[in-house]
Amino acid sequence: MWREPRILPEQDRVRTLCPNRVTVAEQNPFRTLCPNRVTKAEQNPVRTLCPSRVTKAEQNSVQTESSPNTLPEQSDKGRAELCPNRIQSEHSARAERPGFTGKDNLPASLDPITGVQSKDVEISPEIGLSARLYLPRITNPDDKLPLLIYFHGGGFIAESTFSPLYHNYLNSVVAKGNTVAVSVEYRLAPEHPLPAGYEDCWAAIKRVASHFSGGGPEAWLEDHADFRRVFFAGDSAGANIAHHMAIRVGWEETGGFRLAGVVLVHPYFWGKEPIGGEEGIPMEKRRFAEEL
């Protein structure tokens, strides 16, 4: 017998990449990239990238029937699994990042494939703020090249400009774009909650801008960067940072350089007030993300 198709309520209509396993909004309001193992919201209130490792409900905030919008208290030993690399954040604002230990980080070098040179510079040693500079193969020493200031992704809690992922990526971008680049190594949450990352990136921009009028400490910037063609770029959380830095350029003194453009690669945004589809996300999940 033919039946009228059931219309799912608005909160149930979520985008599913693998429709054979539908993710229900009450179970997971976040986009699931590997939904062959769906993580329920009661088990994991954070975005799951590859949920092959499911966090136990006892280790995460649990939504209870008696208090659906209340985030339960956690002990100092409580943990929340943030990604398949087991990035874990403790209640004491410390993090364990087994997949991002820094052991695989690459040193600055001359890349034999692209001919791009790189070197590391300290910006603020007292807080551990640094950056990696990239210079393409120079054919005419008198040419001034566009300047790219890049901010890596990682949800504000992981990754590094020195990791193979970003080091190799910047080598490729600099070679193909024939541009000078500065990739900022900003501090991460939860040890350094926002706005620490924003302030680090702004300090890096100010250091770069100090070369505009000449006399700066970095010869690569002095000799080869065109400060009338400056671009901010980043991916995910880094795109969020690039967006904020571009806005800040509009109302703070930067030393005279000209921001020519901003490149946002799958940017991650999270505001104080929910908009669009964010309005369907339960309050306890918003609180969890905001605590980062």
Q: Mean pLDDT in runs of 10 for the chain (292 residues)? A: 41 36 36 37 35 38 35 37 47 61 87 98 97 98 97 95 98 98 97 96 97 92 97 98 97 90 93 81 78 67
Active site residues: 236
Residue 141: which of 208, 257, 220, 212 has the closest Cα?
220
Question: What pLDDT is recorded for position 246?
Answer: 98
Token code pair at residue 49: 């990238």
pTM over 0.75: no
As a dihedral over the C-alpha atoms of residue 205, residue 247, residue 167, residue 219, rounded to 10 degrees, the angle is -30
Helix (H/G/I), strand (E/B), else coil: 166 = helix
Type of residue at 227: F
How far apart CA 257 and CA 251 sit, in angstroms, is: 14
Question: What pLDDT is recorded for position 16?
Answer: 31
How far apart CA 182 and CA 165 sit, in angstroms, is: 16
Domains of the chain: 12-99 (no CATH), 117-265 (3.40.50.1820)
Element (H, E) at 177: helix 164-177
